[in-house]
Amino acid sequence: MADPTPMDFTVTHQQNPLGGQRIAITVKAKVRLVNVKTVLDDITLDDHDLDPHGTSYSRSFPQVGDFHPGSQHTVIGSGTDENGFTDAHHETWTDE
């Protein structure tokens, strides 16, 4: 098995004026991805088996979770490649 190669994650978040959060995640890998999972505040937003497998994945969630000034949120994105290597990224912020 080849050495694991870290994946590149981009996560963005902002308040949605209609309520909740807007979350977007992009994952790029050098080895084809077979699964990507996105979790916000311990709630799974997506657990996606990719078919066909690709080296990138992008998804946005326009209105998820909640928004309350002072509340802290964490989003975790993880990807698993075709070699079975899993990498993850987490982002934490506080609503202002």
Task: Tell me the per-residue pLDDT of 25-82, one tens digit each, with 9 for 90 and over.
Answer: 999 999 999 999 999 999 999 999 999 999 999 999 999 999 999 999 999 999 999 9
Fold of domain 8-94: Immunoglobulin-like (2.60.40)
Contact 12, 91 (CB under 8 A): no
- Residue by residue, DSSP assigns 49-83 as EEEEEEEEEEEEEEEES---TT-EEEEEEEEEETT
Q: What pLDDT, on a 0 to 100 scale, did the predictor assign at position 19?
A: 87
- What residue segments make up the domains of the chain, in order of their start? 8-94
Q: What pLDDT, on a 0 to 100 scale, did the predictor assign at position 1?
A: 52
